[in-house]
Amino acid sequence: MKALRRVPLLTLLALTSCGIPATEVVQAGGPASGTLPLTPVYFVENGALVATSRTTELPGDPEAALQLLMAGPLAGEGRLGDLSTEVPDLPTSVPAPTAAADGPGTPPSDGPTVTVQGSTMTIRLAPGMDTLSDTGVRQMICTAAAAYRLTRPSVGSVTAEVMDAAGRRVRGSDEGCPDL
């Protein structure tokens, strides 16, 4: 019986005397993460909207998502690898603002601005982005609303109004936007 009591003691001694010194906590960067932040971006494939996932540094930010949309589809992206967009990239030369355009609510020249109140958002296009097709407007609404919902999953339907620099306003909602 005494031999059986010594086995745990011998095992404990063997493990504690293996010659590896104890160390403190070693700092090695940020916490481990298995996924990159993603946001849905809506492009056109065979005439219909399709959602694709893009990595982003600002998940939940509608303006950042719209920047990804305006950058256009990546080569080989989509189920068939032939996505397109009806949202133009930012113009290379932006018209100079007039005195009236310097007031509050005027979008900066670097892209659309998004303001949100509850589940209603207003998307103001940058100067030079005056012509959007109905499909382009849907792309913007679905992309901005999907980004907004990432950090607010309990929000119901999101209503959006897209306004261009010429004063055209188009209202819509994210109902009917395809899932990823």
Closest CA to 144 of 167, 168, 163, 121: 121
Q: Is the pLDDT of residue 151 over 80?
A: yes
Alpha helices (runs of H) in the chain, residue ranges in sequence order? 2-16, 62-70, 134-150
Token pair of 141 as six digits = 């609404």
| Residue 157 reports pLDDT greater than 50 | yes
What does the block give as tokens for 21? 């010194």
What's the rounded Cα separation, in Å, for the pair 127 and 8? 78
pLDDT tens sequence across 18-31: 565 565 655 555 55
Strand-strand pairing, 48-55 and 113-117: unpaired
Q: How confident is the model at residue 106 (pLDDT cuts 50, 70, 90)?
A: very low
Asked whether the beta carbons of 60 and 48 are under 8 A apart, the reply is: no
Tracing tokens 């990595």 back to the chain, one arrives at 55
For the chain, the domains span 38-173
